[in-house]
A and B are shown apart, each in its own frame.
Chain A
């Protein structure tokens, strides 16, 4: 798929001898598909970068986009593609900016067509295709990581751990709990127990519409983990349907305290701690 040494040399020559024309035409053609959403100056700068790194790479001998000395060219392409993905351009718009080079090359090469022109054009065009695909892939990767970042931010937002009372923290869970979110919530809850030195935690699932086996397992594991750390969990707000699911799935809640509402759970904990202060500490039943 690489250009031969001669082809690369001729490409470098072509791009340098017609530098101004190539660049201005490239900007024009590319701008057409972007419909003025990117400033001419910025597009011009990107095209100049691309032009420079293409010439630099082609002068180095056989041009191969995966090759070692094409690293700079790849970096420029990746940079352009990442920028476009962040600015909200579509993948097509991004790749078209690269494909525009084909039109430009055709115009330049038509002017002084020789014996090898057709062959060269096909080879160059293949290179441009590769460059376009490369930007496409980078574009997709960038979008994927953007989505992952946003998902993580959402996760952070949707899982508050609050201190209810001295020694009592609560997590009010709202919305669908998937395995990933359940895991994040639980980790944060346990960390908060340590940070606030709270021996009691209330997990309130009033706002959770459904619980599947995995999520129930996560909650159970958290309760056991909290016990290992020396803290007790109370689960509150179990809806009738969820209670039915739990029983139907055969999940054993064992000796874990459950209360109808968050208020009941808090009252329960306060009674426990209240007894403790009145009677010094009773032996905790484990």
Chain B
């Protein structure tokens, strides 16, 4: 069985899915990632699906589960690089990927995680009132 590699870049774990995953591979990735978040203490997970030409309900569920697990482990998950055709198909399939943050590419995903992280620190530093300025 193939295994999807997990890279650590600074405070972020980067998973770039390059193969057509079997369901077993997907479940394995879910487990591996949970372990790595705990082992490294990372606060961000970026899952790059640029190379995936389909996302079906199984992979969709895996992404949601990973997001929920990492949230419990105090890490923010961002799914990046979803292709237009994949997004259109997911909408038709009825899969909304609730609770998952998305970004167009890895770079934007990193910005999103950095911002989320910065917010948390601000919450510690600032008075809560100062937080209401944004949209």
Footprint of B on A, CB under 8 Å? 186-187, 190-191, 193-194, 197-199, 221, 224-231, 272, 275, 279-286
Contacts and interface: CB of A to CB of B under 8 A. Distances in A.
B103 interface: yes
Contacts of A282: 115, 119, 133-135
B115 A281 contact: yes
A275 to B, nearest CB: 6
A190 B88 contact: yes
Interface string B104-122: 1101110110111011000
B125 interface: no
Contacts of B108: 197, 199, 230
Nearest to A183: B88
A224 B111 contact: no
A281 B118 CA distance: 9
Contacts of B91: 221, 224-225, 228
Interface of B: 78-80, 82-85, 87-88, 90-92, 96-97, 101-105, 107-109, 111-112, 114-116, 118-119, 133-135
B118 A225 contact: no
A197 B87 contact: no
24 contacts: A187-B84, A187-B88, A190-B87, A194-B83, A194-B104, A197-B104, A197-B108, A198-B104, A199-B104, A221-B88, A224-B91, A225-B88, A226-B87, A227-B102, A229-B87, A230-B78, A230-B103, A275-B133, A275-B135, A279-B133, A281-B112, A281-B114, A282-B119, A282-B134
> In the complex, which of the residues A190, A193, A275, A283 has the most CB atoms of chain B within 10 Å of its own CB atom?
A283
A230 to B, nearest CB: 4
Contacts of A186: 88
Which 9 pairs from chain A and chain B are nearest by CB? A281-B115, A190-B84, A282-B134, A230-B102, A230-B103, A225-B87, A228-B87, A229-B82, A230-B104
Contacts of B84: 187, 190-191, 193-194, 225, 229
Given A193-B104, A228-B97, A272-B135, A283 B115 contact: yes
A197 B78 CA distance: 16
Contacts of B82: 228-230
A276 to B, nearest CB: 8
Contacts of B92: 221
Contacts of B79: 230
A216 to B, nearest CB: 14
Contacts of A283: 115-116, 119, 134
Contact of A231 (B88, B104, B135): B104
Contact of B118 (A191, A272, A280): A280
A228 B104 contact: no
A227 B95 CA distance: 12
Contacts of B87: 190, 225-226, 228-229
B101 to A, nearest CB: 7
A279 B78 CA distance: 21
Contact of B104 (A187, A229, A284, A285): A229
B2 to A, nearest CB: 26
Contacts of A199: 103-104, 108
Given A190-B84, A285-B135, A228 B115 contact: no
Nearest to A198: B104
Contacts of A198: 104
Contact of B96 (A193, A197, A224, A275): A224
A225 B104 CA distance: 12
Nearest to B55: A228
Contacts of A286: 101
A279 B102 contact: no
Contacts of B96: 224, 228
A254 to B, nearest CB: 12
> In the complex, which of the residues A193, A227, A229 has the most CB atoms of chain B within 10 Å of its own CB atom?
A229
B32 to A, nearest CB: 24
